[in-house]
Structure 1
Amino acid sequence: MKSTLHVLGLGPAGLESMTLGTYRLILSADKVFVRTFSHPCVQDLLREGAKLESFDEYYEQGESFEEVYEKIVRRLETELKKHVEVIYAVPGHPAVAERSVQLIVDKLSLQFNVLLHPSVSFLDSIFTAVPLDPIQGVLIRNYDALKGSGLTGKEWLIIPQVYSSFIASDVKLDLMDVYPDEAPAIIVQALGTPEQVVQKVKLYELDHQKFDHLTTVLVPPHKDVISMVKLQDVMRTLRAPGGCPWDREQTHETLKPYLIEESYEVLEAIEQKDMYNLTEELGDLLLQVIFHAQLAHEAEEFEFDDILRGIIHKLIHRHPHVFGDVHVDNSEEVLQNWEEIKKQEKGEERAKGWFHFPQALPALMLATKTQKAVAKVGFDWPDQEGPIAKVREEIQELQEAMESGEGIQEEFGDILFALVNLARFLKLDPEDSLRKGVHKFQNRFEKMAELAFDNGEKLENMTLEEMDFYWEKAKIYEKSGKFIET
């Protein structure tokens, strides 16, 4: 016969919040454990003559709550092997914000009978202490689970057991990442007892108050919370009747130039290592995604959640070495797996052609992707000598085309294509290489103009030979970091 563990809830306050069934079970039992003596109901029970043992010493000795809860589970397991019935009582409701109970159910329910008894939770008292109707929406988060939890500000946020000013400080900082600094917050202490206190403060003042193990923090709904939901709301407002005339006129087609422009502005911020500007430019790029999603929503084509669902599924499915049991040794194997999975996903579509990427890519990028695609089946040079020879050959053919006056553009394109191939063998990004070369030229030209101006001359009034004099000076300045007379 299996021993039985009764998991009871003590309610949020004293004996008056405990159910009669729980009260009788505790007084009649031989072995009763409470998670902590630091609870009004436990103190009332002790005065009633109940025989209780607590796990407070585990909290005093443990380095983490998880370690404490593991010790509690092991102790209860030991006691259940000795006794037919054991009681474990926790503050509030056993199924609300009780990590120790979750572990007990997970680890002991197969070996023993584990019965959870209903009780009044701290939420019942919260709903009366604060003018809060849960129909408005309620989000309950532990103090250490606020970061990255997708707060939207559309619902009441309840944070139980904020038991110290140190914890309150962490809560404040986490919330101020998304809520305005002056957003209202409500601190409830001694919930459900005659000493109950409800205090309203500004969020930035949160950790200036006093806290104990019976303290709960609430944050009402707030329209200015920074979230993806807020961004979607703003975009929806701009597109709605009475919104922005320009935004209302846009279509997928009219937005195409802005998507390209914003993408390149992100690249520029990265190249300049300007993190402040990168933040802004990534926001502008994200706006394009939200804008297109809103247009699709209005046309009933797809939703923003479909975008999220697709990319989440793709990332998980194409990273089996992270989310599955596939083993890889390096990034090359990761890319091989990625392409193989991609082929499986595309199915028959892949068999229709080799070049399954946008043909409207910038020319250098299009050339690179094309060469990589054919190289996968072995259509490639064995080493870099091949592409070097090909560059020389294409230059000769261009010279011949120039002499004949025919096929000049075609031969020039062949040179560029051959150079891209050489860049691939040298493990260089041709797009990035050309951009750096352009910037190098721009900087040198600017320096040349500056040197001429400092010498009382303007480029517009100079011959090519005179400009070349300053060009060479600019090159020397560039290499040495300072101007050298020549």
Structure 2
Amino acid sequence: MGASTTAGSNGVNDVEVAAGFASSAGIVAGGDGGFAGAAEVENPSGVEGSCRIERRGASARERAASPTDHPAFNQFVATIAALRAPDGCPWDREQTHESIAHNMIEEAYEAVDAIEARDTAHLREELGDVLLQVVLQSQIAADAGEFDIDDVCVDVNAKMVRRHPHVFGEATAANASEVLDLWDKVKLAERGSAGSADPGAGAVGSAEADGSGGANGPSRREGLLDGVPTSFPALMQAQKVSRKAAAAGFEWDALDDVWEKVFEEIGELKEAYAAAPKAANGKVDASVALARASDAHVSVEAGERDGSAPASAVSGSGYAGASIDPVSASGCAVASASGRVADAELGFGSAVGSDQDPAIGSESAVEFGFGRVSSPDPSADAVAAVELELGDVLFSLVNVARRMGVDAESALRATCAKFRSRWAAMEAAAAAQGRRIEELSASEQESLWEDAKRRL
């Protein structure tokens, strides 16, 4: 954590806020902007927990200035350190950051499940499991000489003070929405501070400029969106990256503008779907177009053998008037007499010429039973276009949620939970009739669904 002093767009100097609060609270500021320690809090009654009760009416600064002791936490840290000791647990000693990384995700999801189920007792247990991952990862780092749990606490404490200038500084925020706007400004200031602390971070050498990088060249400056993990669930990632972009000024003027974008993207999705090859059940399927092309080629070969059709004409294939080379032709592009690939309408788009610029696109080779194909595959491109357009619709809707102040990930999770509870009610109703849900007709299922909706 750098100690550079930068004033954010809110006019608040982050480090001065943290340092100023530390001083007023009787906390010693650490060398890099953190908090190295605090005076012990007296407990006049001598009863464990009473100090915590008395502090309920205390102000924010009073609470921060008088931290309570946490002996149970200290003991837990000592227990994990013991497990990693040479004579501790063989399994714990073998663990690395990477070997237990998945546990962090699993435990976090289980804690969220307990929260959504309003299961307080289970939540207490799951939060302990999450804490275990934090402490164990910190102990692994401590054993490697990287950092320890105290460093983690120092850093996150300083971050919380820095990102709450409306509590510990002179900034103001009248409501939660204004707090979110303030956070975005502070984060941008932090990013600028991090960049200025590393003079080489913004420089771009020739190796990096041409995309080749370089072992000794300057590192690339961290982009605005680099701080959002790509491993996040897609809805969460979409809302976070769009929020960061909006904080930098890349934003619609009004919510109505976002809705207009949603409708535009829905139109493009419908167009892409109409142009894509589809199976009988309506699902997009590139193999359908390839199968049709294969069937057309087989009929041409049969016609050539019995003389009923010349090689220069393909009846009903969409390739009329074009010559077919059994070795190089594909269901996506047709070779003409000049050797170039002609545009061939397949009902879902036109083929791309084989003499295309390699920088624009490359040709794919596909093995069929009638020979090797070397050509672009517009059917696969058409299917991919549907997926991309659907993604654009979802991304636009996430921006609607962001502008409304709704968390898209939480909203969809709530809808999933609602659907599951209603479906469970339908299954229970069917079981009460001595039947399974899949044995009911569509109208019977719809009746149970409407009943579940009225009750849940």
Q: Per the shorter chain, which TM-score range? A: 0.5 to 0.7
User: Match of 1:454?
Assistant: 432
Distance 2:163 2:151 in 1: 18
The answer on 1:438 being equivalent to 2:416 is yes
Closer/same/farther in 2, CA of residues 452 and 239 from structure 1, 3 Å limit: same
Q: Contact (CA 8 Å) 2:185, 2:247: kept in 1 or not?
A: no
Aligned counterpart for 1:171 among listed residues 30, 39, 46: 46
User: Match of 1:402?
Assistant: 273
Aligned counterpart for 2:138 among listed residues 293, 308, 324: 293
Once the two structures are TM-superposed, the CA of residue 471 in structure 1 deviates from its matched residue by 2.1
Once the two structures are TM-superposed, the CA of residue 433 in structure 1 deviates from its matched residue by 0.7
User: Match of 1:364?
Assistant: 235
Q: Contact (CA 8 Å) 2:43, 2:51: kept in 1 or not?
A: no
Distance 2:42 2:241 in 1: 51
Q: Contact (CA 8 Å) 2:84, 2:93: kept in 1 or not?
A: yes
Distance 1:277 1:439 in 2: 18
Once the two structures are TM-superposed, the CA of residue 243 in structure 1 deviates from its matched residue by 3.2
Q: Calculate the TM-score normalised by the size of structure 1.
A: 0.50
Once the two structures are TM-superposed, the CA of residue 331 in structure 1 deviates from its matched residue by 4.4
The answer on 1:315 being equivalent to 2:185 is no
User: Between Structure 1 and Structure 2, whose CA radius of gyration is higher?
Assistant: 1
Q: Contact (CA 8 Å) 2:107, 2:126: kept in 1 or not?
A: yes
Amino acid at match of 2:406: L
Once the two structures are TM-superposed, the CA of residue 421 in structure 1 deviates from its matched residue by 1.2
5+ residue gaps, structure 2, are 1-38, 53-69, 197-201, 203-220, 277-381
The answer on 1:385 being equivalent to 2:251 is no
Amino acid at match of 2:432: D
Amino acid at match of 2:251: D
Query: What are the Cα deviations for residues 174-203 of structure 1, in whole angstroms up to 9, with x where unaligned?
Result: 4999xxxxxxxxxxxxxxxxxxxxxxxxxx
Query: What are the Cα deviations for residues 77-100 of structure 1, in whole angstroms up to 9, with x where unaligned?
Result: xxxxxxxxxxxxxxxxxxxxxxxx
Across the aligned residues of Structure 1 and Structure 2, the Cα RMSD in angstroms comes to: 2.9
Once the two structures are TM-superposed, the CA of residue 453 in structure 1 deviates from its matched residue by 0.6
Once the two structures are TM-superposed, the CA of residue 401 in structure 1 deviates from its matched residue by 1.8
Aligned counterpart for 1:413 among listed residues 382, 385, 391: 391
Closer/same/farther in 2, CA of residues 245 and 348 from structure 1, 3 Å limit: closer
Aligned counterpart for 2:102 among listed residues 257, 262, 269: 257
Amino acid at match of 1:400: E
Distance 2:253 2:164 in 1: 31
Once the two structures are TM-superposed, the CA of residue 446 in structure 1 deviates from its matched residue by 0.3
1:444 aligns to what SS in structure 2?
helix
The answer on 1:306 being equivalent to 2:151 is yes
User: Match of 2:89?
Assistant: 244
1:359 aligns to what SS in structure 2?
coil
Distance 1:246 1:395 in 2: 52
Closer/same/farther in 2, CA of residues 445 and 461 from structure 1, 3 Å limit: same
Amino acid at match of 2:269: L
The answer on 1:231 being equivalent to 2:68 is no
Distance 2:453 2:239 in 1: 31
Closer/same/farther in 2, CA of residues 271 and 389 from structure 1, 3 Å limit: same
Once the two structures are TM-superposed, the CA of residue 435 in structure 1 deviates from its matched residue by 0.4
Closer/same/farther in 2, CA of residues 391 and 235 from structure 1, 3 Å limit: same
Aligned residues: 268
Amino acid at match of 2:111: V
More strand by share: 1
Amino acid at match of 1:263: A
Closer/same/farther in 2, CA of residues 270 and 140 from structure 1, 3 Å limit: closer
Amino acid at match of 1:312: N
User: Match of 1:422?
Assistant: 400
Q: Contact (CA 8 Å) 2:224, 2:244: kept in 1 or not?
A: yes
User: Match of 2:123?
Assistant: 278
Once the two structures are TM-superposed, the CA of residue 298 in structure 1 deviates from its matched residue by 1.1
Distance 1:476 1:330 in 2: 35
Query: What are the Cα deviations for residues 100-133 of structure 1, in whole angstroms up to 9, with x where unaligned?
Result: xxxxxxxxxxxxxxxxxxxxxxxxxxxxxxxxxx
Query: What are the Cα deviations for residues 212-246 of structure 1, in whole angstroms up to 9, with x where unaligned?
Result: xxxxxxxxxxxxx9522211121122223443343
Distance 1:427 1:176 in 2: 37
Distance 1:142 1:348 in 2: 38
Q: Calculate the TM-score normalised by the size of structure 2.
A: 0.53
Structure number with the bigger relative contact order (C-alpha 8 A, sep ≥ 6) is: 2
Aligned counterpart for 2:244 among listed residues 373, 377, 381: 373
Distance 2:269 2:233 in 1: 23
User: Match of 1:354?
Assistant: 224
1:252 aligns to what SS in structure 2?
coil
Write out aligned runs for 1:107-146 (5 A): 143-144=43-44
Distance 1:282 1:141 in 2: 26
Closer/same/farther in 2, CA of residues 393 and 330 from structure 1, 3 Å limit: closer
Identity of aligned residues (%): 38
Amino acid at match of 1:262: E
Closer/same/farther in 2, CA of residues 304 and 358 from structure 1, 3 Å limit: same
5+ residue gaps, structure 1, are 1-138, 145-169, 178-224, 479-486
Give the stretch that moved more between structures: 440-449 or 419-428. 419-428
Amino acid at match of 1:372: R
User: Match of 1:475?
Assistant: 453
